[in-house]
Amino acid sequence: MQVEALISLAGYFVLMLGIGLYAYKKSTYDVSGYMLGGRQLHPAVGALSAGASDMSGWMLMGLPGAIYVSGLGAAWIAVGLVIGAYFNYLLVAPRLRVFTEVADDAITIPDYFEKRFNDKTRILRIVSSVVIVIFFTLYTSSGVVAGGKLFEASFGLNYYMGLFLTAGVVIMYTLIGGFLAVSLTDFVQGVIMFIALIMVPIVAYMQLGNLGEIAEITRAAADTSGYLSMVPETLGLVSIVGVVSAMSWGLGYFGQPHIIVRFMAIRTLKEVATARLIGMSWMIVTVIGAVLTGILGLAFVTTNQGVIADAAIEFTDPETIFILMSQILFHPLVGGFLLAAILAAIMSTISSQLLVSSSSLTEDFYKTFVRRSASQKELVLIGRASVLAVSLVAIFLAFDRSSTILSLVSNAWAGFGAAFGPLILFSLYRKDMSRSAAIAGMVTGAAVVLFWIYAPITVMWGGEETNLSGVIYEIIPGFIASCAAILIADAVTAAPKGKVKERFEEMEETMEADPNL
């Protein structure tokens, strides 16, 4: 198995590096091309790139693992994400695509904030850049952890060797090809994930039998009788808050830089609607596939203990259920392809986050504060150096293998969602929003999330003592506090004038020209 799987993975690595080389020749001559692909992204590439970079190892490892352990109740996260992604395409994508071009061709989120509010003090750029670098370094480490687990569970390699193998390939094609390489590799990786999350549940179902038998097996194996129900067994305050917390993941979409930057790069405004159709179709199918993988995985493990033992595969981590099924259910070459799907999910997110962090360090720190007269060639070089620097820090953080993929992702997702989500929405729809309100909203959202996660405060909840994030997902208080801070600051500060209002009006005129968006 290992030899054939390694052949498949080697072919995948070669393909990714080949795409990186192609992108190097096409779009890395200036910083706009390296960081945003010259705004020439095909809508299908943009949609699958956004989806693949969004879902990461969470889609093939984190979500199936959560479903395997907790049942369909954990699927509320997926429901919230689907709803959030749709409204992100509907509310943010078209306006952000227009506004970032109107605002003197802003190519990063901090750049957009500064130009949107005509911030001469550079405070918005600095604060947003700090938020991006901190949370993305944490987010990137979750992908590296997933890579380490993949190689350890599949090939018996040392966990730390897996970290370096995963990060090494991503660093190479991201360094070489920039945004276009990341987007094209994301497209290929999105296709691989799509196929894998259709194949595994279908083959597992054929192996297990009919739905009635599968339902009986999972109910018997699960710790709770409500394993196959999305409705909590008792509709008390604790269970209702749990469902709301899970669905609140959808709020995070409005503030994820590695996702919304794809909207900025799509070729034309009209193609945003096409990207929305492709992206949402891809997402719905893959989320359903991931949920079914978790449910069928429990039934498969319960009924195939002997097969697992004969294959000499140690299954101790629920987040590796997709890996286990891909190794046992398929021919080794196909199994290698499915392992490549996991690696694709991991690498697509890592590369996107590395590039956004790199662009922030290059455009928002180096060019702004170190060398304003830096040439395009120099900026691209600094961008590549930044990719390497962030990667090394993320690898260092990933050495703590005790952290689960889902917990790492949830913290970073909440941080971005609360710090940037309300600010992005208000900045695109509120003409008279002030710079002070933008700063207040961003700082408040990030601070509340960090407080909610790390504050040494415990409460009794559901009969157990837990911290604040164990009561309700930190994105909810962070998002609400950020919105309140924006509205309060707007009420006591002067409305912007001049260029700020002119840019907003130009954006609205462009949007009104095509109401179907």
381: domain CATH number is: 1.20.1730.10
Q: How far apart, in whole angstroms, are the C-alpha atoms of residue 323 and residue 17?
A: 24
Which of 345, 380, 375, 337 has the alpha carbon at shortest distance from 362?
Answer: 380
Q: Beta partners for 461?
A: 464
Q: What is the pLDDT of residue 383?
A: 76
Contacts 24+ apart (CB under 8 A), 24-29: 24/176, 24/177, 24/178, 24/181, 26/180, 27/177, 27/178, 27/179, 27/180, 28/176, 28/177, 28/178, 28/180, 28/380, 29/376, 29/380
Residue 517 covered by a domain: no
Which residues in the chain show pLDDT less than 50? 517
375 contacts: CB under 8 Å, gap ≥ 6: none
Q: How far apart, in whole angstroms, are the C-alpha atoms of residue 414 and residue 250?
A: 10
Residue 281 covered by a domain: yes
Residue 183 covered by a domain: yes
Residue 68 covered by a domain: yes
Which of helix, strand or coil describes residue 461?
strand
Which of 487, 422, 488 has the alpha carbon at shortest distance from 449?
Answer: 422
Q: Cβ-count burial of 286 within 10 angstroms (0-12 exposed, 13-18 middle, 19+ buried)?
A: buried
Residue 438 covered by a domain: no
Q: How far apart, in whole angstroms, are the C-alpha atoms of residue 272 and residue 444?
A: 31
Residue 121 covered by a domain: yes
Alpha helices in 360-474 (DSSP H): 376-398, 405-429, 435-454, 468-471
Residue 141 covered by a domain: yes
pTM: predicted TM-score of the whole model, two decimal places: 0.82
Express each pLDDT in 343-368 by its tens digit. 767 776 777 777 777 777 777 777 77
Which of 317, 329, 324, 315 has the alpha carbon at shortest distance from 342?
Answer: 324
Q: What is the pLDDT of residue 281?
A: 93
Q: How far apart, in whole angstroms, are the C-alpha atoms of residue 504 and residue 165?
A: 46
The torsion angles phi and psi of 514, rounded to 5 degrees, stand at -140, 80
Q: What is the pLDDT of residue 420?
A: 92
Please give the tally of structural domains in the chain: 1
Express each pLDDT in 88-131 by its tens digit. 999 999 889 888 888 777 777 888 888 888 888 888 888 888 88
Which of 338, 458, 317, 421 has the alpha carbon at shortest distance from 96?
Answer: 421
The torsion angles phi and psi of 41, rounded to 5 degrees, stand at -80, 130
Q: How far apart, in whole angstroms, are the C-alpha atoms of residue 260 and residue 109?
A: 9
Residue 345 covered by a domain: yes
Contact 353, 143 (CB under 8 A): yes
Domain of 279 in residue numbering reads as: 2-401
